[in-house]
Amino acid sequence: MDQKYLGKVNSPEDLKKLNSEQVTGLCSEIRDFMLKTVSENGGHLASNLGAVELTVALHKVFSSPQDTIVFDVGHQCYTHKLLTGRYNEFTSLRKENGISGFMKPEESPHDPFITGHSSTSVSSAFGVCKANQLLCSNSCSVAVLGDGALTGGMVYEALNNVSKKDKHLIVVLNDNKMSISKNRGALSKHLSAIRTRRNYFKFKNSVERFLVKIPLIGHGLYTLAFKLKKTLKSMIYDSNIFESLGFYYMGPVDGHDIDRMTEIFTIAKDYGKPVLVHVKTIKGKGYIPAELAPGVYHGVSHFDPKFGVLSQDGTTFSKVFGDVLSDIAAKDNKVCAITAAMTDGTGLTRFASEFKDRFFDVGIAEEHAVTFSAALAKKGFKPVFAVYSTFLQRGYDQIIHDAAIAKLPLTLAVDRAGFVGSDGETHQGLFDVSFLSSVPGVTVYAPADYGELENMLRCRLKSPEGVAAIRYPRGGAEKIKETAVYSSDVYSVYGDGSTAVVTYGTLTAYALAAMKALETDGIRISVVKLNIVCPLTDDLINTLMSFDNILTFEEGILSGSVSEKIASLLLQRGYKGTFKINAVTGFVKQASVSSQQKQFCLDKESMIRQVKEVTKLEH
Given the DSSP bridges, would you call strands 299-300 and 275-280 parallel, antiparallel or unpaired? unpaired
In whole angstroms, give the CA distance from residue 110 to residue 103.
9
| DSSP symbol at 568 | H
Q: Could you say which of 29, 53, 366, 554 is catalytic?
A: 366
The DSSP letter of residue 401 is I
Helix (H, G, I), strand (E, B) or coil at 9: coil
For the question of residue 280 being annotated catalytic, the response is: no
474 is catalytic: no
Inter-axis angle of helices 258-270 and 52-61, nearest 10:
40
Bridge partners of residue 228, in order along the sequence: none
Per annotation, catalytic residue among 104, 283, 529, 604: 283
Contacts for 46 with CB less than 8 Å, ≥ 6 apart: 283, 284, 290, 294, 295, 297, 298
Q: Is 189 a catalytic residue?
A: no
In terms of DSSP bridges, do strands 169-175 and 382-388 run parallel, antiparallel, or are they unpaired?
unpaired
Pairwise CA distance, residues 338 & 85, whole Å: 42
> Active-site residue among 31, 358, 394, 471?
394
CA geometry: angle 98, 103, 108, nearest 5 deg: 70
Residues 6+ apart with CB under 8 A from 72: 115, 118, 119, 120, 121, 122, 143, 144, 145, 146, 149
Close Cβ partners of 69 (under 8 Å, ≥ 6 residues apart) = 58, 59, 62, 80, 110, 112, 142, 144
Neighbours of 361 (CB within 10 A): 16
For 464, other C-beta atoms within 10 Å of its C-beta total 20
SS3 state of residue 336:
strand
Enumerate the active-site residues: 283, 366, 394
